[in-house]
Amino acid sequence: MEGTHMATQIKPDRGMVEVNQEECKGCGLCVDVCTPKALQLSTGLNRYGYHPAEYAGHGCNGCGLCFYACPEPGAITVYKRTLAEPVAA
């Protein structure tokens, strides 16, 4: 997922989100709280019949609010960039 879009961006994303598709129940609270609109509900269904949230692949600013908005303990993991410049840029 990363790498493909990186080259086209001027400024690298400050963060990244991972959504555990099988833990997510598709409530959408993380989508609502994401100011850069980097999260969306999948059009597909997970094994439990929910439309799980997914990371759009870019745009995360690493604010971490989606983590707190999410009611599942481990559905969302938020990462922040540690290096000033992406290695592949």
Q: Which helix (H) or strand (E) holds 33?
A: helix 29-33
**Binding-residue total with another protein (CB under 8 A):** 37
Residue 32 near another protein by CB under 8 A? yes
The reply to whether 16 sits near another protein by the rule CB under 8 A is yes
Are the CB atoms for 17 and 59 separated by under 8 Å? no
Indicate whether 28 belongs to the interface with another protein (CB under 8 A): yes
Question: What is the full DSSP assignment across 44-61?
Answer: S--TTS---EEE-SS---
* Residue list 58-77, contact with another protein (CB under 8 A): 62, 64-65, 67-77
**Could you tell me the smallest distance in angstroms from the CB atom of residue 87 to another protein?**
6
Decide: helix, strand or coil at residue 67: helix
Q: How far apart are the first and last CA of the chain?
A: 15
Q: Which residues bind another protein (CB under 8 A)?
A: 2, 15-16, 20, 22-23, 25-29, 32-33, 48, 50, 62, 64-65, 67-83, 86-87
